[in-house]
Structure 1
């Protein structure tokens, strides 16, 4: 095993991990490279104290970063050797990753790697273009590969219930100053030089309502922010889907994040994007209701809509100097 190629693989994995999705683009992670091992740690200063008091969304975000590193490590020619939550005495140490035996990445892994920087979160309706059933089936398999379950919601009545729960949670949170201030903390005005949070260009100025209506966060908080594109006229809901796990431990949350990123990268390779709706999952009563009534007893970790968008958006990530320790 060439020392130089190992170093390149480690560096490439961390560089790619920056592009993983995270709640409000908080990027709540740090990395360190020691000899031939990457350590992934939770950056608890970036935890959402109100929306995510348990740290569930933080660990899902970090799980997405972990899957990204695994993908790149494979593309660099090494079998990724991962230990999740390796030290109970260091709860912020979420995982370690080492390059194992040399391997040859197949075309599917290479395709996923190619989507890491292209994948974007969508925050509006989708174009009226169907998502093929065969692709949805493959996304279900991708989640299962990581120990989670992705369920496309085919019943109109169930989609209406999920939309209503999202509306209810958004309405309650909008009246709670604590929630509003937390969203404001991660909203970036036009021209901001920050490399985290949600930029004003990341959502439409006037998003058309989907039917049923899935409300988005109010990142503009009263300002005339947001992009002006034709995409604002897109009203298709897309395919609603629930990502669930059998348990609800820290391990399950990290697994959910890995499953989420696997699903997102595969979807992106076929021109499909995701819009996330976590409001109802941030209110324990509503999350428990969903678990019992809509998720067959499994724990809901993410609500999303999958669809096609022709709106090209940029993205931003913190430089390596801020996340490597």
Structure 2
């Protein structure tokens, strides 16, 4: 049984949550520790008012932090007790989590916990290394455990549709100066000491297309920052979509938890994810995808999965002093 105190488990959970993925590495969360309970709150000052007006991606990001805290708390020897949206009068309070009964983490939990700081997002093509069907199925089971569905898109025609809609959305967003300015607000120049956003070493200076092409975010808009692409990384990888039956705030948080479980499981096997949510940020395109490709289920996250031969450095993280209320 655990030799760690509940206080130590709380500290470990908050420290781990710093490493959760978020849209543009905005890290849009704060934590309030009261007694033996953590309150996870949305930091709306970090919301993207143009690209994420409804706050869907903000809540997905916070959901990844919640799953990270759950995993860390189990690794510390306590079963987490979680309440989602516990107070209707405080909509910014997304969840509370506290250590419950003492428990002994199983091997899969330890594996996930070991990937919290190692996992990182990829922003280019992948090496031409196929992912076994059995492994992709294990990722789908991981998402299902958190209340979402991860569907690998096997039809080449459907992959082409998703690529074309991603290209269309990217083209429209590139013409919107407000959107582009919001995007590069989170693109960091070389040598930046900021503890959020996407540093220049983590996005390509020039996009190297895959086939079919899923364009990357244009973080290098109007400047020459960015990294050179890795030779041989031009494969698309496995295209997959996370969906939910509804589109509530609860389901956005569940999507984030499912996403982080999938990402940590993938990272443990040397697999990274590249995200392409451009089409999901356009209401008409998202609704088209829901009706025509996903049988009425709401698409929450579009990604490519594959093997990347990069150095694996993660993004900067804000210090705890900025996150604790």
Answer whether TM exceeds 0.5 for this pair. Answer: yes
CA deviations over 1:161-211 (Å, ceiling 9, x no partner): 000000000000000011111001111111111010011000222332100
| Aligned residue-pair number | 324
SS state at 1:40 partner: strand
CA distance in 2, matches of 1:81, 1:226: 42
What's the counterpart of residue 257 of structure 2?
258
Q: Is the 8 A contact 1:142 1:259 kept in 2?
A: yes
CA deviations over 1:238-289 (Å, ceiling 9, x no partner): 0000000001000000000000000000000000000000100000000000
TM-score by length of 2: 0.98
CA distance in 2, matches of 1:246, 1:2: 38
SS state at 2:62 partner: helix
Per-residue deviation, 1:224: 1.8
Cα separation, partners in 2 of 1:103 and 1:2, compared to 1, 3 Å: closer
Unpaired runs of at least 5, structure 1? none
What's the counterpart of residue 298 of structure 1?
297
- CA root-mean-square deviation: 1.2
1:6 is the counterpart of 2:6: yes
Q: Is the 8 A contact 2:64 2:257 kept in 1?
A: yes
| Matched ranges for 1:188-267 at <5 A | 188-228=188-228, 231=230, 233-267=232-266
What's the counterpart of residue 269 of structure 1?
268
Per-residue deviation, 1:232: 5.0
| Matched ranges for 1:122-141 at <5 A | 122-141=122-141
Q: Is the 8 A contact 2:126 2:236 kept in 1?
A: yes
CA distance in 2, matches of 1:2, 1:139: 29
Per-residue deviation, 1:227: 1.7
CA distance in 2, matches of 1:32, 1:142: 29
CA distance in 1, matches of 2:284, 2:235: 29
TM-score by length of 1: 0.98
SS state at 1:15 partner: helix
SS state at 2:5 partner: helix
Q: Is the 8 A contact 1:245 1:299 kept in 2?
A: yes
CA distance in 1, matches of 2:13, 2:31: 10
Unpaired runs of at least 5, structure 2? none
What's the counterpart of residue 44 of structure 2?
44
- Deviating above 4 A after TM superposition, structure 1's stretches of 4 or more consecutive aligned residues are 1-4
CA distance in 2, matches of 1:161, 1:67: 32
